[in-house]
Chains A and B, each alone.
Chain A
């Protein structure tokens, strides 16, 4: 029974991550990140996701700020979007990375309108990604809590039998 429930949860998690790959939200680089999680670093994926999201939000805020000025400093924009593109690429956030490429192009073209459109796209992709990451972290957490509870039950089961 427990085996089955555990297997079902694991499958749910696996399918969810797979859907992110299928939709192009994530690419194989994310698998690299997952593969780096081990017993010496059991929260690695969580930590990377958290770092990434904090940094991404900081950058998107700055991009909004700089695009809000009458006279746009395109080289400033470029510096920020370069950082976000780099992070997106390193974590495997495929669609977000592509959205960054578009902003870079619009910035190179010195098109404020193009930049605004591209930034909207970045914001959309980021929000989608963040929401999926949150689900991923939640399901993983639920899985862990489930396992711990099962272990707890098994232990108390054993104790009751030996008393």
Chain B
């Protein structure tokens, strides 16, 4: 459960099956990331864009901000950077602005290996930046990294 650990965030309890929200506008990528995460014993919910993701998390436009004190539904959010409408970066910012969700680790995925983009996301509080296409080893590494941060 809790334990001292890392000076930084992640006050969320992973348990055996972390619940991950995966956000990507690309159908094939959604299917791939979902399977990769399930293979790493994660429970997965997918969303096709930032707005749907926020709605799922309870931060949608129509939803009241009476979410204070409610525990986050998810243990991890992994999102594509390049999405129409709201980018992964903008989604990251919205999550970090929320008192309920700001402790949830957010991982950004992108096909572009851009140093500016990477530092921009890390500065805004992203836990990790991952290059697409994702492989099983990337997801294993991700899980390891996040579990370590807990203990």
Contacts and interface: CB of A to CB of B under 8 A. Distances in A.
Interface of A: 29, 32-33, 35-36, 41, 44, 47-48, 51-52, 55, 79, 82-83, 85-87, 89-92
B135 interface: yes
A35 B135 CA distance: 10
Contact of A48 (B31, B36, B134, B136): B31
Interface residues of B, number: 18
Nearest to B36: A36
18 contacts: A29-B135, A32-B135, A32-B136, A35-B136, A36-B35, A47-B31, A48-B32, A82-B82, A83-B25, A83-B26, A86-B26, A86-B28, A87-B28, A90-B26, A90-B32, A90-B132, A90-B133, A90-B134
Contacts of B82: 82
B32 A33 contact: yes
Interface in B102-149: 111, 132-136
Contacts of A32: 133, 135-136
B27 interface: yes
Contact of B84 (A44, A79, A89): A79
Contacts, number: 50
Given A32-B136, A82-B82, A90-B133, A51 B111 contact: no
Given A55-B28, A89-B111, 10 more contacts: A29-B135, A32-B133, A36-B35, A36-B39, A51-B27, A52-B28, A79-B84, A85-B111, A86-B26, A89-B132
Contacts of A44: 35
B29 interface: yes
Contacts of A83: 25-26
> Which one of A52, A85, A86 has the highest number of Cβ atoms from chain B below 10 Å of its Cβ?
A86
Contacts of B135: 29, 32
Contacts of A52: 28
A36 B139 CA distance: 13
A51 B28 contact: yes
B28 A90 contact: yes
